[in-house]
A and B are shown apart, each in its own frame.
Chain A
Amino acid sequence: MTSTTRRSVPWRFAVPAAIAAATVGAVTIGPAAFADDGRPGLPDVTAEQLVAKVAAARADALTGTVRIDTDLGLPAVPGKGGGGPQALLSGTNRLQVALDGPDRQRIGIMADLSEYNVVHNGRDVWTYDSRAHAVTHTTVDTTRPDVASLVPTTPQDAARQLLDLVGPSTDVRVDGTARVAGHDVYKLRFAPKAQGSLIAAATVFVDARTGVPLRVTVDTVKGGKPAVDIGFEQVSYDKPAAGTFDFKPPAGARVTEAPAHEAAPGKPTAPPAPNGERTAPGLLGEGWTTVVELPAGAKGKEGKEGKEGKDVTGLLGKLGKPVPGGTLINTRLLNVLTTDSGRVFAGAVDADTLQRIAAQR
Chain B
Amino acid sequence: MSPTDALPKTGVLSPAFGHSTADAESFGAERLPRLRGLMRSELRLVFLRPRTAAMLGFLALVPVLLGVALRYFHDGGSSRGGGDGGTMDFVNQVTGNGLFLVFASLAAALPFFLPMTVGVVAGDSIAGEAHGGTLRYLLVAPAGRTRLLLVKFAGVLTFCLAATLTIAMSALAVGAALFPMGDVPLLTGDSISMVEASWRAVLIALCVAASLVGLAAIGLFVSTLTTVPVAAMATTVGVVIVTAILTGIPQLSGLHPWLFTDAWMSFGDLLRDPIPTGEILRNLGMQAAYAAVFGAAAWARLNERDITT
Contacts and interface: CB of A to CB of B under 8 A. Distances in A.
Q: Do A and B come from one complex?
A: yes
A128 B188 contact: yes
A113 B96 contact: no
Interface in B75-117: 79-86, 89-90, 92-93, 95-97, 103, 107
A110 B306 contact: no
B306 A115 contact: no
Contacts of A113: 89-90, 103, 107, 187, 265, 268, 271
Interface stretch (B39-47, B64-72, B168-176, B291-299): B291-299
A132 B80 contact: yes
9 contacts: A16-B293, A16-B295, A16-B296, A16-B300, A81-B84, A114-B268, A115-B187, A131-B82, A254-B79
B274 interface: yes
A7 interface: yes
A85 to B, nearest CB: 10
B272 A108 contact: yes
Contacts of B295: 16
A133 B93 contact: yes
A121 to B, nearest CB: 13
Contacts of B37: none
Interface string A199-222: 000000000000000000000000
A86 B82 CA distance: 13
A133 B92 contact: yes
Contacts of B265: 112-113
B276 interface: yes
Interface string A64-76: 0100000000001
A5 B189 contact: no
Contacts of A81: 83-84, 86
A281 B183 CA distance: 44
Interface string A126-139: 10111111110000
Size range of the interface on B? 35 or more
B237 to A, nearest CB: 22
Interface string A230-260: 0001100000010000011111111000000
Given A16-B300, A115-B188, A252 B97 contact: yes
Contact of A1 (B2, B84, B93, B269): B2
B189 A247 contact: yes
A133 B79 contact: yes
B188 A117 contact: yes
A10 B2 CA distance: 24
B142 interface: no
A10 B297 CA distance: 11
Interface string B190-201: 110000000000
A356 interface: no
A250 B191 contact: yes
A169 interface: no
A19 B189 contact: no
A248 B185 CA distance: 10
Given A81-B83, A82-B83, A252-B95, A108 B188 contact: yes
Contacts of A135: 189
A156 to B, nearest CB: 20
B188 A134 contact: no
A86 to B, nearest CB: 8
Contacts of A86: 83
B299 A252 contact: no
A20 interface: yes
Interface in B26-50: none
A94 B265 CA distance: 14
Given A19-B293, A82-B84, A249-B189, 20 more contacts: A1-B308, A15-B300, A16-B300, A80-B86, A82-B85, A84-B82, A86-B83, A108-B188, A117-B188, A128-B188, A129-B82, A129-B83, A130-B185, A131-B85, A132-B79, A132-B81, A132-B82, A132-B92, A248-B191, A251-B183
